[in-house]
Structure 1
């Protein structure tokens, strides 16, 4: 809470001789005074958790407080343990910022008290308006610096990192981890402006759960980016899952997406190297796009050989000589490709392949001979096995199998 908003709350509490609280429009607590007089379960829970419980939110929404033009008297509710209270809209220049709350157990609030409370609500609105303007200017400046941090030019990256540190926008020059969340559209669909707003809302909601100055955010045309110090990522290991879940919830259930995926890059040594982790997070999403086993959260650390292949230019991968051999495996019997990949994944252990495919070992050997005939690769030769194995992984990465 800001010092100015706290001053407004404390001044009104002292004048009225009762406790005062201010929430935002989502009924999350922004400021509160020392407790004077009666307090109910709702007020106690809000102070402890900083937000109203679900049953309290449902009760509050019945009163359509967002449409109120002045003080609204809310009755008690014995079932929810609520005392009578008054809600006063907090606005400035027509913008709604939240509500000022007073508990009024015995109906003793006089007209003069409500006038003073309304004046205080107006003051609170002016404070919150100024803070929003400052925040928007700050976010715009930080956004420019984060875009430069992720630029392809090393000198621009270093200048952006210095600007973020010197401007007090980032708390650490040390290693960072980049997290990217992106919806994967079905054919013929794309991420539109409404989707970007939903992704931005999810990104801001997760940022608000993290320590201030310990994360950087950026909204891009098709995805959102969260950059955290390595130490913060270790303290909040589920943040990539939480951001993906929040994005999926904001985007809503839709047949426009094949999936909503989170990619996590590797730790860098310095803030100025964030572009490297960002690129790895994007690569992890590209792999998860064609290899669903890596969804919903794909960490570059866990990609194995796919991590190396995803860093190569696509035109070079398409030009590999081994790809026709992979194509030859698919045409007569798709089971041959499955058998070949499993055999190579399991380091040539035919017994294990037979168990996993529920086949007799003789059938596996028969398939392996057929694979050799179709591809021209000798599976008893370690180097040829390696080339074929890489070829299958490349074909998967390119969406050819």
Structure 2
């Protein structure tokens, strides 16, 4: 297979479309093969600048110049994406001094969108290197070829969005004809709220979710919005996968655009279904590193991913709870942003999405700073509309002694999520904090279906309670939780201590349990926990 030499910087700029305001490219022929994100902390720490293309976040022009002109162990980047300058004139001196091209990103563009678009463009270049002279193969690999076909077939500006409408998967060049809704969508922002509300009143989003019909959205002069056609994309089983939008540009859409869009929805369905079932080589390798698809050799993974095989690390799991989206759709909606923030925290961070969770591998020498950062990360998304009203929670497993331990650590993350309620009070849980809950939960799971281990004395007490509403179970639970302290137990459930004593005595009479005996107290607590697990399982 031919080696990927890189993509022309001009192609990367074209892929970013209206998210780029200007560029000072210096010498012709700038080619980039890889991309990394660095923030102000990375620059202050003297991070290596040898990646071809740097997405530079939160670094002003003076610090950028100082960093670029500093003596580096490796070569300088070939280009930088930044929001630090208001125009090309401010960036020109840096380009002249360093020889590094500077690309000005729109101030409202989301960095996670920028990073994902660049990565997608470079991935497409790698795929092209594997299929020389065969563009038809590429058109069927991702959505870019389909977008071009639809643009030519309709004469409009085409974009394909995911099922949450929070992420643009592919789009055609705007050629200066994009209205505000398209511009904001490409930037990773929501369009004008009043116009989105109008689309909802017209039933456009409902039609997209239903699928099967092309909706003709008329132009709206009040919002300076042009005419659109849109259709929902669904799998063969009816799952909503996304939508295709065609904005009318300087000329009217061609007469048979509805037919073109109907056919495109069918093709997009196959592409999206296949891409979900068959992720890219790197994405699949990451999933294998985390224990999917049979696992992977740590040395091979480290060589491919550029990660030291024996470096100590932490594995973080992130899950969504609540809101209108399914956990899988919610985590997919924020997956790009999670990856962005992880890369900003540690440039070597590796992030993958598996089912309803995101998993992150970051280098770590201590769990405390990791836990603080993860707490800040999940809080960033509070109130974010892409979560549909949900919230993120996380689990941290540390230490992870090298890549060979990543899959085990991911299993520990899953154990913690299974044993602790995702929506609990703690937004971030470490394995050390959850160890008791994990082990107790797994012990209960091992016992819950073994009827021969049910204590008939506890069963008798619960049956008596059910028939007479005597509050015996509640009182015994409080008594056990208070380690036999009657006053504390009474305060827990809001009754007089004499009432609590009477109920506990009555429970002894009904069941035959001797709650003065430590072994019987332990057994009773375990039996009540098993009862809770059976009730939960029963629904």
Task: Give how far 1:212 is off.
Answer: 1.6
2:326 to 190, 193, 197: 190
Q: 1:362 aligns with which of 498, 512, 515?
A: 498
Corresponding residue for residue 147 of structure 1: 287
The yes-or-no answer on 1:102 pairing with 2:237 is: no
Whether the aligned pair in 1 keeps the contact of 2:325 and 2:388 (CA below 8 Å) is no
- Given that residues 350 and 365 in structure 1 are in contact (C-alpha distance below 8 angstroms), is that contact kept between their aligned partners in structure 2? yes
Q: Paired residue for 2:486?
A: 350
Q: Tell me how far apart the structure 2 counterparts of residues 181 and 260 of structure 1 sit (CA, whole Å).
A: 7
How far off its partner does 1:98 sit?
7.1
Counterpart check, 1:308 vs 2:439: yes
Map of 1:226 onto structure 2: 360
Whole-angstrom CA distance in 2 between matches of 1:210 and 1:135: 27
Q: Quick one: which of 309, 334, 358 aligns to 1:199?
A: 334
Cα offsets for 1:181-238 (capped at 9, x unmatched)? 222358x973454x3432313321321321222x321102211111234416443322
Structure 1 residues 289-304: aligned runs within 5 Å: 289=421, 293=424, 295-303=426-434
Shift of the 196–391 alpha-carbon distance from structure 1 to 2, 3 Å rule, reads same
- Please say if 1:237 is aligned against 2:251: no
> Could you tell me whether the CA contact under 8 Å between 2:444 and 2:533 is conserved in 1?
no
The whole-number CA distance in structure 1 between the counterparts of 2:384 and 2:532 is 31
Alpha-carbon shift at residue 253 of structure 1 (Å): 6.3
2:262 is aligned to none
Structure 1-normalised TM-score? 0.58
1:179 aligns with 2:313: no
Instruction: State the shift of 1:363 in Å.
Output: 2.1
Cα distance, 1:133 vs. partner? Answer: 0.7
Determine if the alignment matches structure 1 residue 164 to structure 2 residue 301.
Answer: yes
- Answering whether residue 458 of structure 2 is matched by residue 321 of structure 1, we say no
- Report the alpha carbon displacement of residue 306 of structure 1 after superposing the two structures with TM: 2.1
Q: How far apart in 2 are the matches of 1:366 and 1:136?
A: 77
CA distance in 2, matches of 1:197, 1:231: 29
Q: Deviations over 1:141-194 (max 9, x none)?
A: 4432332233279xx54x4422232235323524443222222358x973454x
| Structure 2: distance between partners of 1:312 and 1:137 | 48
Q: For residues 189 and 131 of structure 1, what CA distance do their matches in structure 2 show?
A: 25
Q: 1:176 touches 1:267 (CA, 8 Å); kept in 2?
A: yes
In structure 2, the CA distance between the partners of 1:152 and 1:395, relative to structure 1 (3 Å rule), is: farther
Unmatched segments (≥5 aa) in structure 2? 1-7, 10-21, 28-34, 44-57, 65-80, 93-100, 106-113, 128-278
Asked if 1:283 is matched to 2:376, the reply is no
Q: Which residue of 2 aligns with 1:36?
A: none
- Residue 46 of structure 1 pairs with residue 60 of structure 2: yes
Q: Deviations over 1:368-393 (max 9, x none)?
A: 22333455432112112112212333
Kept after mapping to 2: 8 A contact 1:343/1:349: yes
TM-fit CA distance, 1:398: 5.4
User: What's the counterpart of residue 17 of structure 1?
Assistant: none
Distance in 2, Cα, partners of 1:326 & 1:269: 49
Matched residues, number:
305
Q: Distance in 1 between matches of 2:412 and 2:421?
A: 14
2:526 alignment counterpart: 390
Q: Per-residue deviation at 1:361?
A: 2.4
Flag structure 1 segments of 5+ consecutive residues without an equivalent. 14-23, 32-43, 51-96, 110-119
Contact residue 170 and residue 216 of structure 1 kept, 8 A: no
CA contact 1:199–1:251 (8 Å) conserved in 2 = no
Q: Which residue in the other structure is 1:86 paired with?
A: none
> Aligned with 1:167: secondary structure?
helix
**CA-to-aligned-CA distance 1:238-292 (integer Å, 9 cap, x gap):** 233233224544455646x5x64323335344432223322222222233328x6
Of 393, 404, 418, 1:272 maps to: 404
Cα offset, 1:121, TM superposition: 7.0
Q: Quick one: distance in 2 between partners of 1:177 and 1:240?
A: 11
SS in 1 for 2:361: strand
Q: Is the 8 A contact 1:261 1:285 kept in 2?
A: no
Distance 1:98 1:378 in 2: 72
Give yes or no for contact 2:375–2:428 (8 Å, CA) kept in 1. yes
Aligned to 1:262: 394
Using the alignment, how far apart are the partners of 1:328 and 1:303 within structure 2? 33
Cα RMSD for the two superposed structures: 5.0
Contact between 1:266 and 1:280, CA under 8 Å: does it hold in 2? no
TM-score, scaled relative to structure 2:
0.45
